[in-house]
Structure 1
Amino acid sequence: MENQDIAALMTQYLELKTQAANLEADKRKLVQEAMPPEVRQRVEEIEAEFAGKGEQAEAALAELEEKIKDAVVSARSNVAVDGMKASFYAGRVTWDSKGLEDAMSTNPQVAEAIAQYKKQGKDYASFTFPKA
């Protein structure tokens, strides 16, 4: 597939994403219009009552999550309770690929010794959406 074909697919993707966002906005507007004023007033009161509470709970959860992770890493073991499991994973070992490639290109003995251990993962793509 050529770059221009990929660009066309990406443009189609962005158009569909915009349509989905517009549908959601239209739905919210219609729901608001369908509510009697007293219901809208009560919903606003409820929103005000709960404002900030969710964020506080999320912050407390994030802090506790970090404490648990630190403890699991210190203990170097998995811990489970009913409804949750914290798993320990040893840090991943990585190598300086460019340095090894340079060493292999300048030293045939190094190349012969380590070439058999070279593995290359599958190519992949990811999306980013720059802020407009």
Structure 2
Amino acid sequence: MTPVENPDTVAKSLAIGDPGDGRYVLKRLEQYNGFAEECNNKEILDAILLLAKTEGIFTEPAGGVSVSVLQKMVEQGKIDKNDKVVCYVTGNGLKATESIMEVLEKPNVLKADISEVSAVVN
């Protein structure tokens, strides 16, 4: 296992270049015929948006990694699409808003005028 000197990811909480348990995880993956997957920044951000749109959950980038990897594993047939799977996502997106801001739609800014607001709401 080669340490990563400067991890380039929006998932800062996972950007540990040489994780202490990395060798242990690889050993267990091999022991139990497990599998692992990776995702890039775009896939992480897409997964954050998907989770927000479909489940109403705003996760930090590490949670986006979990959702993105789960999606990939289903697409690859490593996990059956009909299986029941728990994707444990605990980090709140408010901890890392800077990572998602570039892909969010800009909101419309309105004057504090009832007729202008009513025109948009109706």
Scaled by the length of structure 2, what TM-score is found?
0.23
Whichever structure has more helix as a proportion of its residues is: 1
**Structure showing greater Rg:** 1
Instruction: Answer 1 or 2: higher relative contact order, Cα 8 Å, separation at least 6.
Output: 2
Whichever structure has more strand as a proportion of its residues is: 1
Scaled by the length of structure 1, what TM-score is found?
0.22
